[in-house]
A and B are shown apart, each in its own frame.
Chain A
Amino acid sequence: MPMKIGEQPFFDRVDEALENDFMRTAMASAQDRLRGRKLDATVNDEQIGDWEEWRSAGEEIRRHTLENLDFYLNQLSENFSKRGGHVYFAETAEDATRYIQEVAKRKNAKKITKAKSMVTEEIGLNEALEEIGCQVYETDLAEYILQIDDHDRPSHIVVPSLHKNKEQIRDTFRDKAGYTGTEEPRELTAFARSQLREVFLEADIGVTGCNFAVAESGTISLVTNEGNANMVTTYPETQISVMGMERLVPTWKELDVMVNLLSRSAVGQKITTYITNLTPQLEENSVDAPKEFHLVILDAGRSNALGTEFQSALHCIRCAACVNVCPVYRQIGGHAYGSIYQGPIGAVLSPILGGYEDYGELPFASSLCAACSEACPVRIPLHEQLIRHREIYVAQKGKVSEKLAMKAFGIGASTPSLFQGAVKGMPAIMKPFVKNDSISSGPGPMKLWTSIRDFPSPEQNNFRSWFKHHKDGGDS
């Protein structure tokens, strides 16, 4: 499955990430930078007013849209078709890639330009198009870097090549594309631009994702900073946009709110450089619109969340605000998640889309600190959904020993005499392990704790006795 990155087990990926000092330093400094910028464009920005009200508006818009998803999908589809566009509803990733392959074959397409899109990454579109002999060119700078570096995978939803520094990018350009310049970002960008300019002119098909689709007008809206999407959507005669079925808003009014939430939450921009709105054109003589426009609306597991406690995970607008504040992502980076969706939203979304077999461990890779829930501009209760995933996972695949331990916990916790017995008996049981008033090498389940930290020695005295004595006036 293309959403999946690699076949290594989760803990191997984590170990590998923890050994990668460069990547971890890059993640930490990127987080600190992005967090500061986000705060300046949200809670600290007086111009925008009360950020919490914006979040509430965003949540309300997303909830309303998802609760009436069939209505708005139908409206979008009708309006898009009415203007001459072709709409295809794809139930699976395979359905989507097959449809797009058919369009490419019919057009006898050789070169395809793409603007950044997570959803095409999710369905493995590049591989599918290469399979039928097309050359696919990623035109977004970060995606371009990953593509020429032997199809490296994204490590961040908004900044996909976050795990690479400028020296590594220079080396990649040199080894894979014959670059001879320095690691100066401006020079690197100019090189990528010169490489891509010719491709833009030659492309037969342009492929984009979709940040939001406006149901009332049948419009695909793209939020970008580089302008490459405009080249991808204007030069080729055929255009294909792919969207997750949840990515729509009722009207332009809601689009305004969502774009504000997205650009401010993602990288702390008050407004993005480009907002490209594409509506199919019926007019024969239109000069700046593609002659053929396809919209692929993808389910691919999304409907698993509809009508469940996870429905609000579909509110996600892919801003990565949760990723940018996650203390776990900070340490392990994006690749360790094994999914193209990383961080807290990745740990919630990946099991919904891809199941617990591949992604069941991700919901446990969280300390439930709730920084994600606090950061989300549309108020997805991410840390609560991580707990819901854990509930389902342990019910299906939980270890027997853990289930028994939790059962014992339940019995102990509802039987005060047992609990008190445990508290009283603990010092004696733990005594052999206590040295200098703490435990540095504990038995059984304590082993993992004491492998890195000391454990406090149990209290010798009994608080309840002290309290009783204290209340009876027995102490000073």
Chain B
Amino acid sequence: MKISLFITCLAEMFYQNVAKDVVEVLERLGCDVNFPKGQICCGQPAYNSGYRKDAQKAAKQMIKSFEHSEFIVTPSGSCAAMFKEYPELFKEDPEWLKRAEAIADKTYEFTQFIVNVLKVEDVGAVYPAQATYHTSCHMIRLLKETEAPFKLLKNVQGLELLPLENSYDCCGFGGTFAVKMASISEQMVDEKVRHVEESTATLLIAADNGCLMNIKGRIDRKGKPIEVKHIAQILNTRVEGRN
């Protein structure tokens, strides 16, 4: 299966290991992975801040980069959701609307692709730890993917997944919200960190680098002994004897 990776600007700039893990997991699952070079940012920062025209510029670049792809896979529920938003962005432009719809239809978040398209729920990973999982808002509410990450994590050998209180509450990232409304965002992320601590987990996993950057940034600032990892980093672990 030929898939095109959209690695996200955050991963490219700050989380290269996540990007590499995504590549390796997909290849191990038999995918022929390619990386369209024209890709940049999905445009969400501009779109959510009210700069529709500037977001359209980014979206057009992404459409041009990915329209010949068979499947588009990205390690971010939020950026995948933004691709799904492209038709809305071009609703008054019939030509681009058509191209936007084509892109939206073949875009999948990383775990969603593994579970729903590849039909794999056990990637043969092993990661002994007590962990909890942050369900990022855009993944569960805009992309409506609530199960795939849990199905995959359930089959990670040695991983014990602990429940997270008020998991449905936003971590306070929200892109520019984190800086525009810094004082409110601080209280939101503090509550999230408190719930993570109360879960007694020593590892926090999520499928979105945006949320992770926010929560990890706060955890590190407060010097809490909690590790933070993208789900691809967990899934790209192996043990002898497993596939």
* Interface of A toward B, CB cutoff 8 Å: 11, 14-15, 18, 24, 28, 32, 325, 327-328, 330-332, 364-371, 373-374, 387, 389-395, 398, 402-403, 406-407, 409-416, 419, 423, 426, 438, 440, 445, 448-449, 451-459, 461, 463-464, 466-467, 470
When distances are taken between beta carbons in the complex, the residues of chain A under 8 Å from B184 are 14, 18, 328, 331-332, 365
Going nearest first, the 5 A-B pairs with the smallest beta carbon separation are A367-B174, A453-B217, A390-B50, A410-B54, A413-B58
Contact A414 B16 (CB under 8 A): no
Minimum CB–CB distance for B81 against chain A, Å: 9
Contact with A along B2-42 (1 / 0, CB 8 A): 00000101011111100110010000000000010111110
Interface of A is mostly: helix
Task: Compute how far the CA of A452 lies from the CA of B14 in the bound complex, rounded to whole angstroms.
Answer: 19
Contact B188 A409 (CB under 8 A): no
Task: Compute how far the CA of A367 lies from the CA of B177 in the bound complex, rounded to whole angstroms.
Answer: 6
When distances are taken between beta carbons in the complex, the residues of chain A under 8 Å from B141 are 369-371, 373-374
Give how many A-B residue pairs fall within 8 Å (CB-CB). 189
Contact A449 B217 (CB under 8 A): yes
Contact for B54 among A366, A406, A461, CB less than 8 A: A406
Q: Decide yes or no: A464 and B35 within 8 Å by CB, A32-B166, A369-B137 being known contacts.
A: yes
When distances are taken between beta carbons in the complex, the residues of chain B under 8 Å from A470 are 20, 23
Contact B20 A466 (CB under 8 A): yes
Residue of A nearest to B173 (CB): A367
Contact for B7 among A24, A374, A454, A463, CB less than 8 A: A463
Q: Does B129 contact A (CB under 8 A)?
A: no
Task: Compute how far the CA of A366 lies from the CA of B50 in the bound complex, rounded to whole angstroms.
Answer: 13
Minimum CB–CB distance for B21 against chain A, Å: 12
Interface of B is mostly: helix
* Interface of B toward A, CB cutoff 8 Å: 7, 9, 11-16, 19-20, 23, 35, 37-41, 43, 45-55, 57-58, 60-61, 137-138, 141-142, 166, 168-170, 172-175, 177-189, 191, 213-214, 216-218, 220-221
When distances are taken between beta carbons in the complex, the residues of chain B under 8 Å from A459 are 12-16
When distances are taken between beta carbons in the complex, the residues of chain B under 8 Å from A395 are 50
Task: Compute how far the CA of A389 lies from the CA of B48 in the bound complex, rounded to whole angstroms.
Answer: 10
Q: Decide yes or no: A394 and B14 within 8 Å by CB, A327-B188, A369-B170, A452-B186 being known contacts.
A: no
Minimum CB–CB distance for A386 against chain B, Å: 9
19 A-B residue pairs with CB within 8 Å: A11-B183, A328-B184, A364-B180, A365-B181, A367-B172, A367-B177, A367-B185, A368-B174, A369-B169, A371-B170, A409-B46, A449-B178, A452-B182, A453-B217, A456-B213, A457-B14, A459-B12, A467-B35, A470-B23
Minimum CB–CB distance for A459 against chain B, Å: 5
When distances are taken between beta carbons in the complex, the residues of chain A under 8 Å from B19 are 463
Contact B183 A15 (CB under 8 A): yes
Residue of B nearest to A391 (CB): B50
Task: Compute how far the CA of A410 lies from the CA of B214 in the bound complex, rounded to whole angstroms.
Answer: 24
Given contacts A371-B168, A371-B170, A459-B12, 15 further A-B contacts (CB under 8 A): A18-B183, A18-B184, A18-B187, A331-B191, A365-B181, A370-B137, A390-B48, A406-B49, A409-B54, A410-B54, A410-B57, A413-B40, A413-B54, A452-B186, A463-B20
